[in-house]
Protein backbone atom coordinates (compact mmCIF):
# COMPACT_ATOMS: atom_id res chain seq x y z
CA UNK A 1 0.00 0.00 0.00
CA UNK A 2 1.34 3.44 -0.94
CA UNK A 3 2.19 5.52 2.10
CA UNK A 4 2.18 9.31 1.71
CA UNK A 5 5.05 11.03 3.46
CA UNK A 6 3.59 14.46 2.79
CA UNK A 7 0.31 15.96 1.69
CA UNK A 8 0.74 16.63 -2.00
CA UNK A 9 -1.79 18.76 -3.81
CA UNK A 10 -2.62 21.66 -1.52
CA UNK A 11 0.50 22.21 0.57
CA UNK A 12 1.92 24.87 -1.72
CA UNK A 13 -0.80 27.26 -0.58
CA UNK A 14 -0.37 26.63 3.14
CA UNK A 15 1.33 29.97 3.83
CA UNK A 16 -0.92 32.99 3.93
CA UNK A 17 1.24 35.72 2.41
CA UNK A 18 4.36 36.26 0.36
CA UNK A 19 6.08 37.77 3.41
CA UNK A 20 5.87 34.36 5.07
CA UNK A 21 7.26 32.47 2.07
CA UNK A 22 10.92 31.43 2.13
CA UNK A 23 13.00 32.81 -0.74
CA UNK A 24 12.36 30.84 -3.90
CA UNK A 25 16.07 30.43 -4.68
CA UNK A 26 16.75 28.33 -1.58
CA UNK A 27 14.78 25.34 -2.93
CA UNK A 28 17.13 25.17 -5.91
CA UNK A 29 20.35 25.75 -3.97
CA UNK A 30 23.22 23.46 -3.09
CA UNK A 31 24.98 24.98 -0.07
CA UNK A 32 28.61 24.61 0.96
CA UNK A 33 29.70 25.43 4.51
CA UNK A 34 33.13 27.03 4.94
CA UNK A 35 35.10 27.43 8.16
CA UNK A 36 37.14 30.40 6.87
CA UNK A 37 40.39 29.82 8.77
CA UNK A 38 40.69 26.29 7.39
CA UNK A 39 39.45 26.45 3.80
CA UNK A 40 42.10 28.29 1.79
CA UNK A 41 44.96 30.70 2.48
CA UNK A 42 45.08 33.09 -0.46
CA UNK A 43 48.12 33.23 -2.70
CA UNK A 44 48.59 36.94 -2.06
CA UNK A 45 48.80 36.42 1.69
CA UNK A 46 51.66 33.90 1.74
CA UNK A 47 54.61 36.27 1.78
CA UNK A 48 53.28 38.63 4.44
CA UNK A 49 51.50 36.16 6.70
CA UNK A 50 53.39 32.88 6.53
CA UNK A 51 55.26 33.52 9.76
CA UNK A 52 52.10 34.37 11.69
CA UNK A 53 50.23 31.10 11.30
CA UNK A 54 50.52 27.42 12.03
CA UNK A 55 51.61 25.43 8.97
CA UNK A 56 48.73 24.74 6.60
CA UNK A 57 47.44 21.24 7.21
CA UNK A 58 49.07 20.85 10.62
CA UNK A 59 46.98 19.12 13.30
CA UNK A 60 44.15 21.53 14.18
CA UNK A 61 43.97 23.02 17.65
CA UNK A 62 41.25 24.89 19.48
CA UNK A 63 43.20 28.15 19.53
CA UNK A 64 45.60 28.03 16.57
CA UNK A 65 45.21 29.88 13.28
CA UNK A 66 46.15 28.40 9.90
CA UNK A 67 45.46 31.52 7.86
CA UNK A 68 42.48 30.80 5.65
CA UNK A 69 40.92 34.02 4.36
CA UNK A 70 38.15 35.36 2.14
CA UNK A 71 40.39 35.89 -0.88
CA UNK A 72 41.30 32.23 -0.55
CA UNK A 73 37.62 31.35 -0.92
CA UNK A 74 37.41 33.63 -3.94
CA UNK A 75 40.36 31.85 -5.55
CA UNK A 76 38.49 28.54 -5.31
CA UNK A 77 35.13 29.62 -6.71
CA UNK A 78 35.86 27.71 -9.94
CA UNK A 79 36.31 24.54 -7.88
CA UNK A 80 33.07 25.15 -6.00
CA UNK A 81 31.11 25.79 -9.18
CA UNK A 82 32.50 22.62 -10.74
CA UNK A 83 31.23 20.80 -7.67
CA UNK A 84 27.80 22.32 -8.36
CA UNK A 85 27.64 24.63 -5.35
CA UNK A 86 25.31 27.61 -5.71
CA UNK A 87 25.36 29.10 -2.19
CA UNK A 88 28.01 29.53 0.51
CA UNK A 89 27.42 29.58 4.25
CA UNK A 90 30.42 31.05 6.06
CA UNK A 91 31.12 30.55 9.74
CA UNK A 92 31.59 33.94 11.44
CA UNK A 93 33.79 36.44 9.66
CA UNK A 94 33.69 39.43 12.02
CA UNK A 95 36.65 40.63 14.10
CA UNK A 96 37.47 38.17 16.87
CA UNK A 97 40.37 36.62 18.75
CA UNK A 98 39.13 33.06 18.13
CA UNK A 99 39.84 30.97 15.04
CA UNK A 100 36.13 30.15 14.80
CA UNK A 101 35.19 33.82 15.37
CA UNK A 102 32.16 33.12 17.54
CA UNK A 103 33.78 35.54 20.06
CA UNK A 104 32.79 38.75 18.25
CA UNK A 105 34.72 41.98 18.90
CA UNK A 106 33.20 44.19 16.21
CA UNK A 107 30.09 43.34 14.19
CA UNK A 108 30.81 46.04 11.61
CA UNK A 109 34.34 44.88 10.76
CA UNK A 110 35.35 41.73 8.92
CA UNK A 111 38.38 40.28 10.70
CA UNK A 112 41.63 41.72 9.29
CA UNK A 113 43.11 38.21 9.23
CA UNK A 114 40.36 37.32 6.74
CA UNK A 115 41.11 40.39 4.62
CA UNK A 116 38.76 42.95 6.16
CA UNK A 117 35.64 44.47 4.66
CA UNK A 118 37.29 44.93 1.27
CA UNK A 119 37.87 41.18 0.99
CA UNK A 120 34.20 40.49 1.71
CA UNK A 121 33.28 43.06 -0.94
CA UNK A 122 35.48 41.29 -3.50
CA UNK A 123 34.07 37.90 -2.56
CA UNK A 124 30.47 39.07 -2.77
CA UNK A 125 31.04 40.71 -6.14
CA UNK A 126 32.61 37.57 -7.61
CA UNK A 127 30.03 35.25 -6.07
CA UNK A 128 27.11 37.31 -7.36
CA UNK A 129 28.69 37.61 -10.81
CA UNK A 130 28.51 33.80 -10.94
CA UNK A 131 24.87 33.70 -9.86
CA UNK A 132 25.80 32.32 -6.43
CA UNK A 133 24.79 33.46 -2.92
CA UNK A 134 26.44 34.03 0.47
CA UNK A 135 24.88 33.56 3.92
CA UNK A 136 26.74 34.81 7.01
CA UNK A 137 26.59 33.69 10.64
CA UNK A 138 24.63 35.91 13.05
CA UNK A 139 26.07 35.39 16.54
CA UNK A 140 23.83 37.71 18.54
CA UNK A 141 23.44 35.82 21.81
CA UNK A 142 26.94 36.51 23.11
CA UNK A 143 30.13 38.39 22.28
CA UNK A 144 33.83 38.09 23.05
CA UNK A 145 35.60 39.66 26.00
CA UNK A 146 37.16 42.07 23.51
CA UNK A 147 33.78 43.40 22.34
CA UNK A 148 34.01 47.17 22.60
CA UNK A 149 31.01 47.64 24.91
CA UNK A 150 32.15 44.89 27.29
CA UNK A 151 35.67 46.31 27.31
CA UNK A 152 34.18 49.68 28.24
CA UNK A 153 32.43 48.11 31.23
CA UNK A 154 35.64 46.35 32.26
CA UNK A 155 37.40 49.72 32.33
CA UNK A 156 34.64 51.95 33.75
CA UNK A 157 32.74 49.36 35.78
CA UNK A 158 29.40 50.57 37.14
CA UNK A 159 30.01 54.03 35.64
CA UNK A 160 29.97 52.67 32.10
CA UNK A 161 26.90 53.69 30.07
CA UNK A 162 27.06 50.21 28.53
CA UNK A 163 26.68 48.33 31.81
CA UNK A 164 23.07 47.43 30.97
CA UNK A 165 24.17 45.74 27.74
CA UNK A 166 25.12 42.77 29.93
CA UNK A 167 23.78 41.01 33.01
CA UNK A 168 26.35 41.83 35.65
CA UNK A 169 26.18 40.39 39.15
CA UNK A 170 28.83 42.53 40.82
CA UNK A 171 31.91 44.69 40.51
CA UNK A 172 34.75 44.69 39.77
CA UNK A 173 34.20 42.45 36.76
CA UNK A 174 36.20 39.25 36.60
CA UNK A 175 36.60 38.52 32.86
CA UNK A 176 39.63 36.31 33.52
CA UNK A 177 38.93 33.79 36.23
CA UNK A 178 41.49 32.28 38.56
CA UNK A 179 41.15 30.15 41.68
CA UNK A 180 41.95 33.27 43.70
CA UNK A 181 39.61 35.65 41.86
CA UNK A 182 36.74 33.21 41.54
CA UNK A 183 34.28 32.66 38.70
CA UNK A 184 33.10 35.36 36.33
CA UNK A 185 30.46 37.60 37.88
CA UNK A 186 28.33 38.21 34.81
CA UNK A 187 26.07 36.05 32.72
CA UNK A 188 28.06 34.16 30.10
CA UNK A 189 27.13 31.54 27.54
CA UNK A 190 27.51 28.13 29.18
CA UNK A 191 29.33 29.95 31.99
CA UNK A 192 32.36 30.59 29.79
CA UNK A 193 33.95 33.90 30.86
CA UNK A 194 35.22 34.55 27.33
CA UNK A 195 31.61 34.69 26.08
CA UNK A 196 29.64 37.45 27.87
CA UNK A 197 25.96 37.10 27.09
CA UNK A 198 24.24 40.17 25.66
CA UNK A 199 21.21 41.53 27.50
CA UNK A 200 18.88 41.43 24.53
CA UNK A 201 15.99 42.48 26.77
CA UNK A 202 17.58 45.94 26.62
CA UNK A 203 15.88 47.82 23.73
CA UNK A 204 19.15 49.62 22.95
CA UNK A 205 20.90 46.28 22.45
CA UNK A 206 18.06 45.08 20.26
CA UNK A 207 18.30 48.17 18.07
CA UNK A 208 22.07 47.73 17.81
CA UNK A 209 21.79 44.10 16.68
CA UNK A 210 19.00 44.86 14.23
CA UNK A 211 21.09 47.63 12.72
CA UNK A 212 23.93 45.12 12.28
CA UNK A 213 21.56 42.73 10.53
CA UNK A 214 20.28 45.45 8.20
CA UNK A 215 23.78 46.83 7.52
CA UNK A 216 25.15 43.60 6.07
CA UNK A 217 22.03 42.87 4.03
CA UNK A 218 22.46 46.35 2.55
CA UNK A 219 26.13 45.50 1.99
CA UNK A 220 24.99 42.63 -0.22
CA UNK A 221 24.90 39.38 1.73
CA UNK A 222 22.03 37.04 0.89
CA UNK A 223 20.96 35.94 4.33
CA UNK A 224 21.73 35.06 7.93
CA UNK A 225 22.23 31.79 9.74
CA UNK A 226 21.12 32.42 13.33
CA UNK A 227 23.51 31.00 15.91
CA UNK A 228 21.77 29.44 18.95
CA UNK A 229 18.58 31.51 18.44
CA UNK A 230 16.76 29.62 21.19
CA UNK A 231 19.19 31.13 23.72
CA UNK A 232 17.65 34.57 23.12
CA UNK A 233 14.32 34.43 24.91
CA UNK A 234 13.39 38.09 24.52
CA UNK A 235 9.75 38.15 23.32
CA UNK A 236 9.40 39.56 19.84
CA UNK A 237 13.10 39.94 19.08
CA UNK A 238 13.32 37.41 16.26
CA UNK A 239 10.03 38.63 14.84
CA UNK A 240 11.53 42.14 14.70
CA UNK A 241 14.68 40.66 13.19
CA UNK A 242 12.68 39.10 10.37
CA UNK A 243 10.81 42.33 9.72
CA UNK A 244 14.06 44.30 9.49
CA UNK A 245 15.87 41.77 7.30
CA UNK A 246 12.94 41.21 4.95
CA UNK A 247 12.41 44.96 4.79
CA UNK A 248 15.96 45.33 3.53
CA UNK A 249 15.60 42.42 1.09
CA UNK A 250 12.56 40.17 0.83
CA UNK A 251 14.83 37.69 -0.97
CA UNK A 252 17.11 37.33 2.06
CA UNK A 253 17.26 33.88 3.68
CA UNK A 254 16.96 33.38 7.45
CA UNK A 255 17.88 29.92 8.74
CA UNK A 256 17.96 29.03 12.42
CA UNK A 257 20.50 26.73 14.03
CA UNK A 258 18.10 24.30 15.69
CA UNK A 259 19.18 20.77 16.53
CA UNK A 260 15.68 19.52 17.28
CA UNK A 261 12.42 19.79 15.38
CA UNK A 262 12.34 23.58 15.30
CA UNK A 263 8.69 23.74 16.32
CA UNK A 264 7.58 27.34 16.69
CA UNK A 265 10.37 28.68 14.51
CA UNK A 266 8.82 28.05 11.10
CA UNK A 267 5.45 29.75 11.40
CA UNK A 268 6.12 32.59 8.98
CA UNK A 269 7.29 35.14 11.56
CA UNK A 270 10.86 34.06 12.39
CA UNK A 271 12.87 31.74 10.15
CA UNK A 272 12.60 30.50 6.58
CA UNK A 273 14.24 27.19 7.43
CA UNK A 274 16.20 25.32 10.08
CA UNK A 275 19.44 23.37 10.22
CA UNK A 276 17.91 19.94 9.70
CA UNK A 277 20.39 17.77 11.59
CA UNK A 278 17.67 15.16 12.04
CA UNK A 279 18.09 14.08 8.42
CA UNK A 280 21.76 13.32 9.03
CA UNK A 281 21.05 11.44 12.25
CA UNK A 282 18.45 9.27 10.53
CA UNK A 283 20.69 8.63 7.54
CA UNK A 284 23.54 7.59 9.82
CA UNK A 285 21.28 5.29 11.82
CA UNK A 286 20.02 3.46 8.72
CA UNK A 287 22.82 3.45 6.17
CA UNK A 288 25.67 3.02 8.68
CA UNK A 289 23.83 0.91 11.25
CA UNK A 290 26.22 -2.03 10.80
CA UNK A 291 29.11 0.28 11.70
CA UNK A 292 27.49 1.76 14.81
CA UNK A 293 27.95 0.27 18.29
CA UNK A 294 25.03 -1.84 19.47
CA UNK A 295 23.87 0.89 21.84
CA UNK A 296 24.06 3.54 19.12
CA UNK A 297 25.85 6.85 19.53
CA UNK A 298 25.02 10.37 20.65
CA UNK A 299 25.59 13.57 18.65
CA UNK A 300 25.27 16.81 20.61
CA UNK A 301 22.97 15.07 23.07
CA UNK A 302 20.75 13.46 20.42
CA UNK A 303 20.68 9.67 20.33
CA UNK A 304 21.47 7.94 17.03
CA UNK A 305 20.42 4.28 17.24
CA UNK A 306 20.81 1.77 14.47
CA UNK A 307 17.56 1.73 12.46
CA UNK A 308 15.83 -0.96 10.45
CA UNK A 309 14.01 0.15 7.31
CA UNK A 310 10.52 0.41 8.82
CA UNK A 311 11.67 2.47 11.81
CA UNK A 312 13.78 4.65 9.53
CA UNK A 313 10.83 5.28 7.21
CA UNK A 314 8.56 6.19 10.11
CA UNK A 315 11.00 8.74 11.46
CA UNK A 316 11.62 10.21 8.01
CA UNK A 317 7.87 10.63 7.59
CA UNK A 318 7.59 12.33 10.98
CA UNK A 319 10.46 14.66 10.10
CA UNK A 320 8.87 15.74 6.83
CA UNK A 321 5.46 16.32 8.39
CA UNK A 322 6.73 18.58 11.17
CA UNK A 323 6.50 21.82 9.18
CA UNK A 324 4.65 23.30 6.23
CA UNK A 325 5.92 22.02 2.90
CA UNK A 326 7.60 25.30 1.93
CA UNK A 327 9.74 25.15 5.05
CA UNK A 328 10.75 21.54 4.43
CA UNK A 329 12.05 22.61 1.03
CA UNK A 330 13.86 25.64 2.49
CA UNK A 331 15.60 23.91 5.41
CA UNK A 332 19.25 22.86 5.23
CA UNK A 333 19.82 19.11 5.19
CA UNK A 334 22.97 18.44 7.21
CA UNK A 335 25.17 15.36 7.44
CA UNK A 336 28.02 17.02 9.35
CA UNK A 337 29.33 20.44 10.36
CA UNK A 338 31.89 22.27 12.50
CA UNK A 339 29.89 21.35 15.63
CA UNK A 340 30.11 17.57 15.31
CA UNK A 341 32.41 14.78 14.14
CA UNK A 342 32.88 14.38 10.41
CA UNK A 343 30.48 11.97 8.74
CA UNK A 344 33.35 9.75 7.59
CA UNK A 345 34.36 9.39 11.24
CA UNK A 346 30.82 8.75 12.46
CA UNK A 347 30.32 6.05 9.82
CA UNK A 348 33.40 4.25 11.08
CA UNK A 349 35.15 4.49 7.74
CA UNK A 350 32.25 2.78 5.95
CA UNK A 351 32.67 4.42 2.53
CA UNK A 352 29.55 2.73 1.16
CA UNK A 353 27.42 4.17 3.95
CA UNK A 354 28.77 7.66 3.29
CA UNK A 355 27.94 7.40 -0.41
CA UNK A 356 24.38 6.32 0.41
CA UNK A 357 23.96 9.09 2.97
CA UNK A 358 25.04 11.67 0.41
CA UNK A 359 22.60 10.24 -2.14
CA UNK A 360 19.83 10.43 0.47
CA UNK A 361 20.75 14.04 1.29
CA UNK A 362 20.71 15.05 -2.39
CA UNK A 363 17.39 13.41 -3.26
CA UNK A 364 15.26 14.31 -0.23
CA UNK A 365 13.20 17.51 0.15
CA UNK A 366 15.33 20.36 1.46
CA UNK A 367 18.50 22.14 0.42
CA UNK A 368 21.61 19.97 0.81
CA UNK A 369 24.62 21.51 2.52
CA UNK A 370 28.12 20.07 2.11
CA UNK A 371 30.62 20.70 4.91
CA UNK A 372 33.90 21.77 3.35
CA UNK A 373 36.12 18.81 2.56
CA UNK A 374 33.49 16.11 3.01
CA UNK A 375 33.56 15.72 -0.77
CA UNK A 376 37.24 14.70 -0.76
CA UNK A 377 37.04 12.44 2.30
CA UNK A 378 38.23 14.64 5.17
CA UNK A 379 37.57 12.83 8.43
CA UNK A 380 37.95 13.68 12.09
CA UNK A 381 36.26 13.39 15.47
CA UNK A 382 34.79 16.36 17.33
CA UNK A 383 36.25 19.86 17.68
CA UNK A 384 39.05 20.55 16.80
CA UNK A 385 39.55 17.43 14.65
CA UNK A 386 36.47 18.24 12.55
CA UNK A 387 38.05 21.57 11.58
CA UNK A 388 41.10 20.44 9.63
CA UNK A 389 42.60 22.52 6.84
CA UNK A 390 41.41 21.63 3.35
CA UNK A 391 44.22 19.54 1.77
CA UNK A 392 44.82 21.63 -1.35
CA UNK A 393 48.50 20.83 -0.87
CA UNK A 394 47.88 17.06 -0.85
CA UNK A 395 45.54 16.17 -3.74
CA UNK A 396 46.87 12.63 -3.62
CA UNK A 397 44.98 12.18 -0.34
CA UNK A 398 41.62 13.08 -1.88
CA UNK A 399 38.91 10.48 -2.37
CA UNK A 400 38.42 11.22 -6.07
CA UNK A 401 35.74 8.54 -6.45
CA UNK A 402 33.68 10.21 -3.74
CA UNK A 403 34.25 13.62 -5.32
CA UNK A 404 32.95 12.29 -8.65
CA UNK A 405 29.97 10.71 -6.87
CA UNK A 406 28.98 14.01 -5.25
CA UNK A 407 29.43 15.92 -8.50
CA UNK A 408 27.12 13.44 -10.20
CA UNK A 409 24.49 13.73 -7.48
CA UNK A 410 24.58 17.52 -7.53
CA UNK A 411 24.33 17.58 -11.32
CA UNK A 412 21.38 15.21 -11.15
CA UNK A 413 19.65 17.47 -8.67
CA UNK A 414 20.35 20.51 -10.83
CA UNK A 415 19.04 18.87 -14.01
CA UNK A 416 15.82 17.54 -12.49
CA UNK A 417 13.50 20.04 -10.85
CA UNK A 418 11.47 17.18 -9.42
CA UNK A 419 14.40 16.40 -7.06
CA UNK A 420 14.37 19.97 -5.79
CA UNK A 421 10.66 20.72 -5.55
CA UNK A 422 8.79 17.47 -5.94
CA UNK A 423 6.41 16.00 -3.37
CA UNK A 424 7.66 12.90 -1.61
CA UNK A 425 5.85 9.57 -1.35
CA UNK A 426 7.24 6.49 0.35
CA UNK A 427 7.05 3.32 -1.75
CA UNK A 428 8.84 0.62 0.20
CA UNK A 429 10.60 0.17 3.54
CA UNK A 430 11.50 -3.44 4.18
CA UNK A 431 14.64 -5.29 5.17
CA UNK A 432 17.53 -3.14 3.89
CA UNK A 433 15.49 -1.42 1.17
CA UNK A 434 14.07 2.07 1.29
CA UNK A 435 12.35 3.50 -1.79
CA UNK A 436 10.40 6.66 -2.47
CA UNK A 437 9.18 8.74 -5.37
CA UNK A 438 9.08 12.45 -5.93
CA UNK A 439 6.56 14.01 -8.29
CA UNK A 440 6.24 17.49 -9.74
CA UNK A 441 3.98 18.64 -12.60
CA UNK A 442 4.06 15.36 -14.50
CA UNK A 443 7.70 14.66 -13.70
CA UNK A 444 8.74 11.77 -11.50
CA UNK A 445 11.85 10.44 -9.80
CA UNK A 446 12.11 6.97 -8.27
CA UNK A 447 14.87 6.49 -5.70
CA UNK A 448 15.63 2.96 -4.47
CA UNK A 449 18.24 2.40 -1.74
CA UNK A 450 19.79 -0.91 -0.76
CA UNK A 451 21.59 -0.47 2.55
CA UNK A 452 22.43 -4.18 2.68
CA UNK A 453 25.62 -5.78 1.49
CA UNK A 454 23.99 -8.23 -0.92
CA UNK A 455 22.36 -7.46 -4.25
CA UNK A 456 18.58 -7.38 -4.25
CA UNK A 457 15.68 -7.08 -6.67
CA UNK A 458 12.89 -4.69 -5.70
CA UNK A 459 9.40 -4.95 -7.14
CA UNK A 460 7.71 -1.54 -7.05
CA UNK A 461 3.98 -2.14 -7.31
CA UNK A 462 2.59 1.11 -5.92
CA UNK A 463 4.11 3.84 -8.07
CA UNK A 464 0.67 5.29 -8.79
CA UNK A 465 -1.03 6.26 -12.02
CA UNK A 466 -1.03 3.92 -15.00
CA UNK A 467 2.38 2.31 -15.23
CA UNK A 468 2.27 2.08 -19.04
CA UNK A 469 2.17 5.87 -19.20
CA UNK A 470 5.52 6.35 -17.44
CA UNK A 471 8.77 6.87 -19.33
CA UNK A 472 11.62 6.36 -16.86
CA UNK A 473 15.36 6.05 -17.40
CA UNK A 474 18.23 5.19 -15.10
CA UNK A 475 20.04 8.38 -14.09
CA UNK A 476 23.38 6.61 -14.22
CA UNK A 477 23.35 4.75 -17.54
CA UNK A 478 20.15 6.02 -19.27
CA UNK A 479 18.71 2.51 -19.55
CA UNK A 480 14.91 2.34 -19.56
CA UNK A 481 12.85 0.93 -16.72
CA UNK A 482 10.55 -1.37 -18.67
CA UNK A 483 6.89 -2.06 -18.09
CA UNK A 484 5.92 -5.75 -18.25
CA UNK A 485 2.33 -6.97 -17.90
CA UNK A 486 1.14 -3.72 -16.40
CA UNK A 487 3.91 -3.23 -13.86
CA UNK A 488 7.53 -2.17 -13.78
CA UNK A 489 10.15 -4.86 -14.02
CA UNK A 490 11.95 -5.57 -10.74
CA UNK A 491 14.72 -3.08 -10.01
CA UNK A 492 18.12 -4.67 -9.46
CA UNK A 493 20.04 -2.77 -6.78
CA UNK A 494 23.59 -3.87 -5.92
CA UNK A 495 24.59 -4.06 -2.29
CA UNK A 496 25.36 -0.69 -0.70
CA UNK A 497 24.02 1.18 -3.72
CA UNK A 498 21.16 3.32 -4.98
CA UNK A 499 19.22 3.36 -8.24
CA UNK A 500 17.65 6.62 -9.36
CA UNK A 501 15.18 6.79 -12.24
CA UNK A 502 13.78 10.00 -13.67
CA UNK A 503 11.18 10.72 -16.29
CA UNK A 504 7.62 11.75 -16.87
CA UNK A 505 4.09 10.44 -16.95
CA UNK A 506 2.66 10.61 -20.48
CA UNK A 507 -1.09 10.61 -20.05
CA UNK A 508 -3.07 9.92 -23.22
CA UNK A 509 -5.28 12.78 -24.39
CA UNK A 510 -8.77 12.70 -22.94
CA UNK A 511 -11.58 11.80 -25.34
Domain with CATH 3.20.20.80 in the chain: 26-144+193-419
- Do residues 195 and 144 touch, judged by C-beta distance below 8 A? yes
What digits encode the pLDDT tens for the residues 343-397? Answer: 999 999 999 999 999 999 999 999 999 999 999 999 999 999 999 999 999 999 9
Question: Catalytic amino acids?
Answer: 227, 257
pLDDT at 483: 77
Q: Using a CB cutoff of 8 Å and minimum separation of 24, what contacts does 104-107 make?
A: 104/139, 104/143, 104/144, 104/147, 105/143, 105/144, 105/146, 105/147, 105/148, 106/147, 106/148, 107/209, 107/212
pLDDT at 183: 85
d(CA 68, CA 56): 9
pLDDT at 359: 99
d(CA 245, CA 271): 11
The 3-state DSSP composition of the chain as helix, strand, coil percent (nearest 5) reads 35, 20, 40
Domain with CATH 3.90.400.10 in the chain: 145-192
The whole-number average pLDDT for the span 298-325 is 94
- Determine the CATH number of domain 26-144+193-419: 3.20.20.80
d(CA 100, CA 35): 7
Residue 47, C-beta contacts closer than 8 angstroms, at least 6 positions apart: none
Domain 421-505, CATH homologous superfamily name and number: Golgi alpha-mannosidase II (2.60.40.1180)
Q: pLDDT band for position 49 (50/70/90)?
A: low
The whole-number average pLDDT for the span 242-247 is 98
Lowest-pLDDT choice from 3-12, 84-93, 114-123, 424-433: 3-12
Task: Indicate the SS3 state at residue 28.
Answer: coil
The whole-number average pLDDT for the span 496-511 is 80
- Residue 196 DSSP class: B
pTM of the prediction? 0.94
- Give the chain's radius of gyration (CA, Å): 24
Whether the per-residue pLDDT at 1 is higher than 50: the answer is: no
d(CA 110, CA 157): 28
What digits encode the pLDDT tens for the residues 472-487? Answer: 899 999 998 887 766 7
- Determine the CATH number of domain 145-192: 3.90.400.10
pLDDT at 11: 40
Share of the chain above pLDDT 70, in %: 92
Q: pLDDT band for position 295 (50/70/90)?
A: confident
Share of the chain above pLDDT 90, in %: 84
The whole-number average pLDDT for the span 395-403 is 98
The whole-number average pLDDT for the span 455-466 is 80
Whether the per-residue pLDDT at 128 is higher than 60: the answer is: yes
Q: pLDDT band for position 505 (50/70/90)?
A: confident
Cα separation values, 411 from 84, 85, 143, 358, 471, Å: 7, 10, 40, 13, 21
Domain with CATH 2.60.40.1180 in the chain: 421-505
Q: pLDDT band for position 315 (50/70/90)?
A: very high
Give the containing element (helix H, strand E) for 95.
Answer: strand 94-96
pLDDT at 469: 66
- Exposure letters 102-130 (e unless 16+ CB within 10 A, then b): bbbbebeebbebbbbbebbeebbeebeee
Lowest-pLDDT choice from 77-81, 234-238, 300-304, 464-468: 464-468
Cα separation values, 437 from 319, 356, 365, 451, Å: 17, 16, 11, 17
pLDDT at 471: 82
Amino acid sequence: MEKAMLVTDDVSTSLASSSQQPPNWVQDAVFYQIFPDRFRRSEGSLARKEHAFQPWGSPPSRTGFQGGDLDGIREKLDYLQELGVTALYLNPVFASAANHRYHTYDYYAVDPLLGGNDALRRLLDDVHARGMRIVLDAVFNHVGRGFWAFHHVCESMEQSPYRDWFRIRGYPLRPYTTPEAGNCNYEAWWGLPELPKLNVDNPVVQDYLLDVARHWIDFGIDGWRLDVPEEIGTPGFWERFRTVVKGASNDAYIVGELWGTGRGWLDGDRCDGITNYELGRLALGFFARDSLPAEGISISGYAVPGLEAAAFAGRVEKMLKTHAWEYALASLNYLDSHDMPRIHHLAGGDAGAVRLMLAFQMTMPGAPIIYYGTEVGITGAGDPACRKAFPWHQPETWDHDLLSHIRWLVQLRREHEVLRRGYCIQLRARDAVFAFKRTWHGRIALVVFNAGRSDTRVQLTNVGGTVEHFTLTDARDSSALRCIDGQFEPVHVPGRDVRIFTGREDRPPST
